[in-house]
Amino acid sequence: MKKSGFILFTLIALFTTGKAQVITGENVAIANTDNGQVRGYIHNQIFTYKGIPYAEAKRFEAPHKPAAWTGVRSSMTYGPVAPLLEPTTSVFDEVEFLFHHDWGYTSEDCLRLNVWTPALDGKKRPVMFWIHGGGFTAGSSQELPSYDGENLARTGDVVVVSINHRLNILGFLDLSAYGEQFKTSANNSILDMVAALQWVQANIANFGGDPNNVTIFGQSGGGAKVNTLMAMPKAKGLFSKAINESCAIRANMLEKPETQAIGAAVIAALGIQPNDIGKIQEIPFEQLAAAGKIALKKVEDQMRADGKQLSAFGLNWGPSVDGELLPYQIFSPEAMQLSKNIPLLIGTVKNEFMASMGSGLTHATMDEVVAAIKNQRGDQTEAYLAAVKEAFPNPQMPSDLMDVDVMFRPGSVFEANTKSAVPGGAPVYMYLFTWQSPIMDGKYKAIHCMELPFVFNNIARCEEMTGGGPEAYALAEKVSKAWVQFARTGNPNHPGLPQWEAYQESNGTTMFFDNECTIRHHHDQTLMKLLQQQH
């Protein structure tokens, strides 16, 4: 028997006896890419590849295809993550127990992706392209255990891809005024994502995926990146569906005058002359990050002095309208037309960033909760409480009244209203994840990121967040199937859920994901109107 035949026979034998866990070897899980062959491993019948280079780039320059390699490239562990402005040196013990981060190791050479697939068989499976959270400044494809794509690939028969890309000052410093080589520098981070999607177009068929059926999905900062790609002409045609989890914010992106002012302030802080701009590529990252902090504060102060509107978070690194890569604001008519044919699944979790957490009021009395709300909302307290009780009529504890998300839900409703109103456009589906985690006596409720173990069907990997009980497993099957069905067809309906009609401003249709999944219409319309009046 030839060596390749023996290996295949061994794999089949292991799979059919149910004893296979991790299968590795010099000739195991070898796949072709247009840059050379890669070798992964097989775990529980899923072919896994990590740290594959999808592009490379000099600092502040556009990404391009990586150099080809000879032989077989070992691709069995996660690649480097983008450097952080503030490296993690300490954590809050209880919160870290919940999230269980994997910080990875950093390098500016971080343009890597990971692939999970059921087989290298030529079958055209839906591709689910995951974009991590962390705003535009932090995070990675391995940061949370929920991000692991193995279970989603196996239970959904899909190909899962996740990426690392440039972040913070490395991905968004606008040096376009200083030479053609830096022309795209204001949005290189988003251009990295385009390069990764182009890699998928060129290579994913070799991993059993369909390049013509790619869904981009992301949570928190990843959801904002999804929105950005939908408004990017260069990304058009690289994906056919989009999912935005917990990050629809109405704030406008910065434009060229502001981003170029930040760039000028950075080189001034570094003491670099414009005619010697090349030096900026050699500055140590820590020094560069410090100069960026000074520059952001300087420009923010100037914008405030000029009476320009800023978000509550002030200035930070992120995408901007540069006139070419991103010619439109995210929710402009032009951007909406660009993504007209892209079905959208959008939603939030019930509690996101809970007010009770920072104030120690999780298990407070009703009087204490009302006093805290009154301190924030003054004479609108009674109207606010009435609106919250109308939206969620059965609070389990008094702090539920102060922990309803008012950060991302309004933006998600605005985006769903805006996109669903595009004449002849693709459908929008809205959800709200309301399931309450039992961890720490229910303290963490449906906190920001809580839906992720359910989306990826990763309850076992995320017991610290979910408790790992039977109700969590049952809901994860329903949620992950909805995401897979949406990726497959553009419609999240499946037999395990009540009928889920497309969202329109007129119907307000929202799927509530909980131990009992239900459909509600305009459940928080009064609350949304109240919040809109306050702004």
Q: What is the mean pLDDT of residues 131-155?
A: 98
% of the chain exceeding 90 in pLDDT: 90
352 is catalytic: yes
Task: Give the start-end residues of each E strand in 136-232.
Answer: 159-163, 209-219
Residue pLDDT, tens place only, 49-77: 999 999 999 999 999 999 999 999 999 99
Q: What is the mean pLDDT of residues 10-22?
A: 57
HEC readout, 284-348: CHHHHHHHHHHHHHHHHHHHHHCCCCCCCCCCCCCCEECCCCCCCCCCCHHHHHHCCCCCEEEEE
Residue 416 is encoded by which pair of tokens?
Answer: 């769903």
100 is catalytic: no
162 is catalytic: no
Residue pLDDT, tens place only, 413-458: 999 999 999 999 999 999 999 999 999 999 999 999 999 999 999 9
Residue tagged 């005619």 (tokens): 275
The pLDDT of residue 248: 83
Q: Is 79 exposed, middle or buried (0-12, 13-18, 19+ CB in 10 A)?
A: buried
Give the active site residue among 43, 132, 165, 448. 448
- Which SS3 state, helix, strand or coil, does residue 373 take? helix
Contact 436, 445 (CB under 8 A): yes
Q: What is the mean pLDDT of residues 488-510?
A: 98
Q: What are the backbone angles phi and psi of residue 39, rounded to the nearest 5°? A: -120, 125
Contact 170, 140 (CB under 8 A): no
The pLDDT of residue 2: 46
Find the helix or strand (DSSP H, E) in which 521 lies. strand 518-521
Give the active site residue among 143, 150, 258, 352. 352
CATH class of 30-165+187-245: alpha beta
Domain ranges, ordered by start, for the chain? 30-165+187-245, 405-534
- Which SS3 state, helix, strand or coil, does residue 128 take? strand
Pair type for strands 22-23 and 41-43: antiparallel
Give the active site residue among 141, 220, 339, 480. 220
The pLDDT of residue 283: 97
CA 171 to chain centre: 16
